Amino acid sequence: MEKGYIHIYTGNGKGKTTAAFGLAIRAALSGKKVFIGQFVKDMKYSETKIEEYLKNIEIKQLGRGCFIYEDVEEVDKELGRKGLEECGKRLSSGEYDLVILDEINIALFFKLFEVEDVIKVLENKAFNTEVVLTGRYAPQELIDMADLVTEMVEVKHYYSQGVLSRKGIDC
């Protein structure tokens, strides 16, 4: 691969992480090495089982997840900073063809670290590494820096009818 581009999948619609994982599968099946860092998540969702089947995908969960319903605590900020540092090392190493920073925009929204920290990490990425940033509320500074931005828009969702997340479909 020549130049690695910066993608953002944002918006209030369903499918941001799903789109990123679809890209990860496509890349892995093409022989590329993939790292997925999941910010603010610590539950093992169905998608995290991918690494059991595709050995060139590595997934690491970088948060404790529960603060989105409560106040952010210092432990959340510390996990976020450490997670960003770890992702930065992987991005700059040149070892990975694709690095996904899942829910990093949510981590920014909850001020686990600053947008300037993310910009610095992106500026130091290896030239040929593709990177995807997911999550609602992508800040304008990252949108301006990105090469591809997709906004997921919710038009209609069965959650509003009381349908909860279904294993294998929604989680």
Q: Which long-range contacts (CB under 8 A, 24 or more apart) does 75-80 make?
A: 76/40, 76/110, 76/112, 77/111, 77/112, 77/113, 79/112, 80/39, 80/40, 80/107, 80/112, 80/113
Q: What is the pLDDT of residue 66?
A: 62
Using CA atoms, how far apart are residues 83 and 51, in angstroms rounded to an integer? 19
CA separation for the pair 64, 41 (Å, rounded): 6
Task: Determine contact, residues 133/165, Cβ cutoff 8 Å.
Answer: no
In tens, the pLDDT along 116-155 reads 999 999 999 999 999 999 999 999 999 999 999 999 999 9
Statement: residue 109 has pLDDT above 90: yes
| Amino acid 67: pLDDT | 60
- Residue 71's pLDDT band (cuts 50, 70, 90): confident
Residue 7 banded pLDDT, cuts 50, 70, 90: very high
Domains of the chain are: 6-161 (3.40.50.300)
- Region 65-77 average pLDDT: 78
How many beta carbons lie within 10 A of that of residue 151, not counting itself?
Answer: 14
* Sheet strands side by side (includes 98-102): 57-61, 34-38, 98-102, 130-134, 6-10, 148-151
Residue 115's pLDDT is: 98
